[in-house]
């Protein structure tokens, strides 16, 4: 390995140290043989845009890797990739044998958190991966399962809505840990083990600076319940999440798939998409079954008796004319 003096990645690491409450430790900026670096078992990122990967490969062939990979030395003395998987894969495709790296001493949990945060800071992050990444990060900070995180977020949402209703009625809210809105990007809150779960949630969202917790619950959590075909289109960046939610409302799977295909191929706007969904809904509404002839006659007879047409001479005269026609029809049978 050769040591380099230039350390462009260390600024990002300092910010991550602050977020993760890590003690500052010397970081070694080195080069490693690509074959020495192993991928971790838990990888936050699953989808890589083929066109963007191709562009990165060409850039690396021309200029090399400008931003080093972040790796750690595991207990079994292997170098494990922590952040920079896209550059790692592009370097493999470009045929590089060595890559610049920053080596840090990190625990399994610290490494996973850094990988998640680095993934969440990508400009091309799709909404599904972003949602899953935030949930995983919250699960680590709260020391619970992702399912428990989702339950907590919905509980916070219900509490906030209940307090809003009470406030609108001029009633005092029940004493709870109030999940106040934290403005994203305005503050970097320190997260400690002594904090209440709701406070940890607020601190994580404030530190990430992506969105508020209530916006996440309202707009992002529903994405995880989408049909598989729509999820895949979202992950590949083929449609916006607002369109994905709209398409998911079509319950017929064949019609939904056809609409998804049309949305991608024709690049439908959200307004055009909603028009087509309305058309599908109208065509899918079953028409009311016509009553049988017997039911029609019986219903009409009851209504005639109930109306007591004979009490109105003018109407009864008209009714007699119609009854005479009916009797003539019956006589011909």
Mean per-residue pLDDT for 245-274? 92
Mean per-residue pLDDT for 55-65? 93
**Orientation of helix 127-142 relative to helix 146-168, angle to 10°:** 90
What is the residue extent of each domain of the chain? 10-125, 127-223, 226-285
How many Å apart are CA 203 and CA 205, to the nearest integer? 6
Q: Which of the four pLDDT bands, split at 50, 70 and 90, describes residue 116?
A: confident
CATH class of 10-125: alpha beta
Which among 204, 164, 155 has a CA at the least distance from the CA of 184? Answer: 204
Q: What are phi and psi of 85, to 5 degrees?
A: -65, -35
Query: C-alpha distances in angstroms, 135 versus 113, 117, 129?
Result: 11, 12, 10
Examine the pLDDT at 184 and tell me if it is beyond 80: no
Q: Which of the four pLDDT bands, split at 50, 70 and 90, describes residue 186?
A: very low
Proportion of the chain in helix, strand, coil states, percent, rounded to 5: 60, 10, 35
Which of 45-49, 181-185, 217-221, 296-300 is the most confident on average? 217-221
Examine the pLDDT at 185 and tell me if it is beyond 50: no
pLDDT of residue 289: 63
pLDDT of residue 8: 38
Which of 172-176, 194-198, 290-294 is the most confident on average? 194-198
Examine the pLDDT at 24 and tell me if it is beyond 80: no
Name beta bridge partners: 33.
Answer: 98
pLDDT of residue 272: 93
Cβ contacts of residue 297 below 8 Å, gap of 6+?
none
Contact status, residue 35 vs residue 99, Cβ threshold 8 Å: no
Examine the pLDDT at 155 and tell me if it is beyond 90: yes
Examine the pLDDT at 246 and tell me if it is beyond 50: yes
Q: Which of the four pLDDT bands, split at 50, 70 and 90, describes residue 282?
A: confident
Examine the pLDDT at 177 and tell me if it is beyond 70: no
Q: What are phi and psi of 35, to 5 degrees?
A: -65, -20
In degrees, rounded to 5, the angle at the alpha carbon of residue 118 between the alpha carbons of residues 206 and 194 is 45
Q: Report the predicted TM-score, pTM, of the whole model to 2 decimal places.
A: 0.62
Which among 225, 231, 238, 304 has a CA at the least distance from the CA of 50? Answer: 238
Which three-class secondary structure state does DSSP give residue 177? coil
Examine the pLDDT at 125 and tell me if it is beyond 70: yes
Half-sphere exposure of 85 (CA within 13 A, CB side): 21
């Amino acid at each position: 390995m050769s040591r380099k003096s230039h350390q462009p990645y260390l600024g990002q690491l300092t910010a991550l140290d602050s977020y993760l409450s890590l003690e500052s430790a010397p970081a070694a900026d080195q080069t490693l043989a690509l074959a020495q670096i192993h991928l971790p078992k838990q990888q936050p990122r699953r989808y890589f845009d083929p066109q963007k990967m191709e562009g990165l490969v060409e850039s690396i062939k021309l200029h090399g890797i400008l931003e080093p990979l972040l790796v750690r030395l595991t207990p079994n003395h292997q170098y494990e990739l922590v952040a920079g998987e896209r550059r790692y894969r592009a370097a493999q495709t470009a045929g590089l044998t060595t890559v610049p790296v920053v080596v840090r001493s990190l625990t399994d949990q610290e490494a996973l958190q850094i990988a998640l945060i680095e993934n969440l800071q990508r400009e091309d992050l799709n909404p599904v991966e972003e949602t899953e990444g935030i949930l995983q990060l919250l699960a680590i900070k709260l020391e619970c399962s992702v399912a428990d995180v989702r339950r907590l977020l919905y509980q916070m949402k219900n509490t906030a809505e209940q307090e809003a209703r009470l406030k609108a009625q001029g009633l005092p809210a029940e004493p709870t840990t109030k999940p106040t809105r934290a403005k994203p990007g305005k503050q970097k809150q320190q997260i400690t083990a002594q904090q209440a779960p709701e406070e940890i949630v607020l601190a994580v969202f404030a530190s990430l600076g992506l969105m508020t917790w209530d916006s996440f619950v309202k707009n992002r959590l529903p994405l995880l319940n989408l049909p598989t075909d729509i999820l895949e289109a979202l992950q590949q960046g083929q449609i916006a999440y607002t369109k994905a939610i709209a398409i998911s409302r079509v319950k017929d799977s064949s019609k939904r798939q056809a609409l998804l295909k049309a949305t991608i191929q024709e690049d439908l706007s959200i307004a055009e998409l909603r028009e087509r969904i309305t058309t599908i809904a109208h065509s899918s509404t079953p028409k009311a079954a016509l009553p049988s002839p017997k039911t029609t006659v019986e219903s009409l007879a009851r209504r005639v008796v109930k109306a007591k047409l004979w009490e109105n001479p003018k109407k009864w005269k008209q009714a007699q004319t119609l009854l005479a026609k009916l009797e003539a029809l019956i006589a011909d049978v």
